[in-house]
Structure 1
């Protein structure tokens, strides 16, 4: 059965262009809706949660910058409808799963560097998203920059 609604999780780097291209081709061939999400992680998570200062202003700046970059990304990819463009705040796996369920997506597409060895994979967002996903997950292999 063809997919009905594809959710693409992007990190807003140049590396997400091939992921978006693959998603667009798949959505077009399936006549599926296409949604995009970028997750802004709480700064306290990056610092191990033990931060002796108020990060709220930095967090707001980080969120505003992500919104600008997401808007620029959408302009570059006219196949994405602005109302299918999501910016979320939190832990990537949880937010991607939540949005996939909320939007009734039947496929999540993420980029993967395909590092070798299980230990290297365990920390990756792609691997994280795979576990407990409410639908199919497609990991698009990203080529290493030379």
Structure 2
């Protein structure tokens, strides 16, 4: 077994849905592989109305992630991370959970971000463990 615990970062995008598919495929090879499915709620310090909408969306995503975790035969759970730096939260969660692989989606937004989004890039740069970046595919839809 080349990895024992995988953190998968999901943000609702098609690339992050692909990341979940990759993690499930890896976990399907060995029932001892554990999955930690996380969604990061980036806090902006906005007004209560805007924050309430963000929390509602985060709760919906967390529910979808937990349903996905419940569908796999492996030990899996979902977590909502809250803070101002998604990359730092992902790295800290991976460390706290003892993950030896992080899987997340890519973003294509020009410059260095043409290859990786800013969060993906920061995680790759800061991670002491392997990071697998899932590239978007035209046919992949987010969880629903």
**Which TM-score applies when normalising by structure 2?**
0.77
Tell me by how many angstroms 1:81 deviates. Answer: 7.7
Q: Distance in 2 between matches of 1:61 and 1:115?
A: 25
Name the SS of the counterpart of 2:126 in structure 1.
Answer: coil
5+ residue gaps, structure 1, are 45-53
Q: Distance in 2 between matches of 1:82 and 1:15?
A: 23
Q: Is 2:93 the counterpart of 1:92?
A: no
Partner of 2:119: 125
Q: Kindly tell me: are residues 109 and 80 of structure 1, through their superposed partners in 2, closer, same or farther at Cα, counting changes over 3 Å?
A: farther
Tell me by how many angstroms 1:128 deviates. Answer: 1.5
Q: Deviations over 1:63-108 (max 9, x none)?
A: 2321122203432551288972110112110000010010000000
Partner of 2:3: 3
Larger Rg: 1
Q: Distance in 2 between matches of 1:71 and 1:6?
A: 19
RMSD value, Cα: 2.8
5+ residue gaps, structure 2, are 140-144
Partner of 2:100: 106
Partner of 1:34: 35
Question: In structure 2, which of residues 64, 70, 91 is the aligned counterpart of residue 72 of structure 1?
Answer: 64
Tell me by how many angstroms 1:6 deviates. Answer: 0.2
